[in-house]
Amino acid sequence: MSYQKDVLRTTGKLAVKTSALLQIGVGTLANIILFFYNVSPILLGHRQRPTHVVLTHMAVANLLALLSSAIPHTTAAFVLRSPLSSVGCKFSYYIYRVARNTTMCSTCVLSTYQFFTLIPGRVEWTMLRGRTPKVIGPFCCTCWMISFLTNVFIPVKVAGPQDMENDTDVQGKWFCPSSNFTSRMVILLSISDVMFIFLMVWSGGSIVLLLHRHHQRVQHIHTPNGYHKCPPETRAAHTILMLVVTFVIPYMLNSILAFYITAFLDARPWLMHISHILALCFPTFSPLLLILRDPRAPSFCS
């Protein structure tokens, strides 16, 4: 009986590890494709649209989040017998936090920009829409700067597993511990997350209201073939809503699991891996969603 339990436990751990590696591999490939997909107008001598600028920054941030998160997990679980050093943990966790915050900020910029493009044509909104494309690039650069500055204290507080006092904890060697974080630091990190999520939900909800009102105005209009073609603005708005939902749901589940791990001091490896998988859902699936929803994508993909 104990042998069967050991086999099931080993199989479950292997399945979780394999899922994490597969997620990192698929997400890395998808973000590379998304990056070149949105840089291609420059390579072809065309002008980049504002959305292409945001998606380029988002692809780079997603790549950094996936690769920096993959370093401590893959090396400790598959490659090395010993865990990462203190310097490796500090570097990988800092880059992960910077990339994660930049991804959130870039998504906010994208959703807010899409909201402004859908606002009915009042004079003040028309003037604001005309200036918005010029500030998209500086906004994205500001996202990187804010992320670097907000997380500047993380390398001081994150230590390597071998630096912890409890050397007998075999489970702890899988991950870089962050137990030195104070409640004020956690609140500071949470404030930025809550702000970004609020902006995403606000812009997403506003887009839903605008699309609903637009649908009520034009629902009596019929094309000769009875087919209602989806305008590019509406298609882009639907994509933004999918992005917001893809981010918010895994983020909430990951936050609940992280609270459970912290409150009950339950650092079992399979829980940590599931939390890691949830945290990387958006960097993995958002580029696939953006590529498949792009009008330039082949029809069989969309």
Q: Would you say residue 10 lies in a domain?
A: no
Whose CA is closest to 100, among 280, 289, 260? 280
Q: Would you say residue 83 lies in a domain?
A: yes
Q: Would you say residue 273 lies in a domain?
A: yes
Q: How far is CA 243 from CA 20, 93, 159, 176, in A?
A: 21, 24, 34, 29
Backbone angles phi, psi at 217, to 5 degrees: -75, -35
Model pLDDT, residue 123:
45
Question: Tens of pLDDT along 74-95?
Answer: 655 555 555 567 787 888 888 9
pLDDT of 251 over the 80 cut: yes
Model pLDDT, residue 152:
86
CB 112 within 8 A of CB 124: no
CB 71 within 8 A of CB 92: yes
Q: How far is CA 198 from CA 105, 118, 160, 190, in A?
A: 11, 19, 34, 12
Full residue range of the structural domain in which residue 86 is found = 17-218+228-293
Q: How far is CA 185 from CA 29, 140, 147, in A?
A: 34, 25, 14
Q: Would you say residue 301 lies in a domain?
A: no
Average pLDDT over residues 126-145: 76
More confident residue, 298 or 270: 270
Of the pLDDT bands very low, low, confident and very high (cuts 50, 70, 90), residue 175 is: low
Mean pLDDT, rounded, of the chain: 75
Of the pLDDT bands very low, low, confident and very high (cuts 50, 70, 90), residue 235 is: confident
Q: Would you say residue 2 lies in a domain?
A: no
Of the pLDDT bands very low, low, confident and very high (cuts 50, 70, 90), residue 227 is: very low
Indicate the number of domains in the chain: 1
Q: Would you say residue 208 lies in a domain?
A: yes
CATH value at residue 55: 1.20.1070.10
Q: Would you say residue 34 lies in a domain?
A: yes
Q: Would you say residue 167 lies in a domain?
A: yes
Q: How far apart are CA 129 and CA 206, in angstroms?
A: 16
Q: How far apart are CA 175 and CA 188, in angstroms?
A: 22
pLDDT of 231 over the 70 cut: no
pLDDT of 59 over the 80 cut: yes
